Each structure stands twice: as C-alpha cells, then as structure tokens.
Chain A
C-alpha cells in the first residue's frame, strides 16, 4: 500500500472552505484514494473515494490531478462539528479483506 503524507493539523473558522492535501508519490495504477473522518471516541467513518479527476458527494469533494501523486479533500463551509481527524488512505481494494493502513491523519480544528 502506498505511503501517504498529510499535514498534522489545520485550523479553520466556521463557514470557511477547508482543503486538506495528501501526497502519495508511489501510488500504483490500481490504487484508489479514500478519505475517512474520525471524531473523538468514535470509529473512523468513510467520507469519499476516488480514482482520478474529481468526485463530489453530499459531504465533500475530492480532487485528484492527472498524475495522481496527490489528492485534495475539500470541505465546503465547515462547521464546529467538522472538527475531527481526517485520514487519507491509498491502496488496491479489490482483494477481499484489504486492510486499511492509517497514517497520523490531519487534525482539523474549527473555531467560531
């Protein structure tokens, strides 16, 4: 599974757009990029997944450049409840039981 690098922490204010970038220089052809969110005292929760270009759902957008060596999770108009740890994961997910390799994640703190 490809190694990922993301900022340790980020600060924002309510209503702002937050962009968290993840580097994955060794991403393989069959690898997908997945982001999870973890609130204190809870398990990680799937946010979004993509392979290339742009993916958008009701929670976030994921931007992936053509070389796929990085990706950016975009959270529009964050609120206090978006304060959490965000994990970027990269890997081939076709095999049964592929374990997720979690790094340190990015701790996002949203203030009023």
Chain B
C-alpha cells in the first residue's frame, strides 16, 4: 500500500479553470503538508495541517485553499488557475516526535502531481 498517495498524477488544464488535488496518507500521522516544486526544482512549503488544524499558511495566493476533512486527508483546491501555477505539487505527512533519540518530523512524500496550465 502506498503510504502517501496523491491524485491525479498529472493535471493539464486551461487558464482560469478551478481544479483540486487530493492527498491521503495511511500512516496514521497527525500532520500533513503541501509543497510546491517549481521548474528550478526549489521545493517550498505552502500549507500544513496538524490534526485538521491549519498551522502553516505561507504567503500563497488566496486562490489556493487547503481542506482537511480528517487527519488522513489534505486536499488542495486552486481557483482561477494561472500560468505561473504550473509546477509539481507534493503532499507529505509526518508524526510529531517526542523525546530525544527518536527521529523527529520525518516527512513522507507522495509521488507528486504535475500541474500544467495552458
């Protein structure tokens, strides 16, 4: 079973359209993330949810709206798509670490969703 799964893997759409990307994790983690990787391969955090609560909301256009119906799911909805939104979007999850000696905040990433806006 895939630990972090994203759908769709590829998304090609026209400018101005609205689209959603779904993410599910079966690891029992309490935190989920959305990252964006642009053409220069820089990977940047967009949002993070901990137990369905938004805890990180970086400076992204308000056309991007995350939704977490439960701890295992974090979806990303994008309104009025623009050319600059073309990128690979990665979902990730982690479990908040406690104590020393335990690997902390290891994030597990999905395979990514390649969004192309034409």
Contacts and interface: CB of A to CB of B under 8 A. Distances in A.
Nearest to B109: A43
Contacts of B33: 97, 99
A44 B42 CA distance: 12
Interface of B: 4, 30-31, 33, 41-45, 48-51, 55-56, 58, 90, 92, 94, 96-98, 100, 103-112
Nearest to A101: B45
Interface residues of A, number: 24
A98 B97 CA distance: 11
Contact of B109 (A44, A96, A105): A44
Contacts of A45: 109
Is chain A's interface secondary structure helix, strand, loop, or mixed overall? loop
A44 B90 CA distance: 9
Contacts, number: 71
A62 to B, nearest CB: 12
B43 A44 contact: yes
Given A96-B50, A97-B49, A99-B45, A49 B31 contact: no
B45 A100 contact: yes
4 nearest A-B residue pairs (beta carbon): A43-B109, A93-B104, A93-B105, A99-B45
Contact of B43 (A42, A94, A102): A102
B110 to A, nearest CB: 6
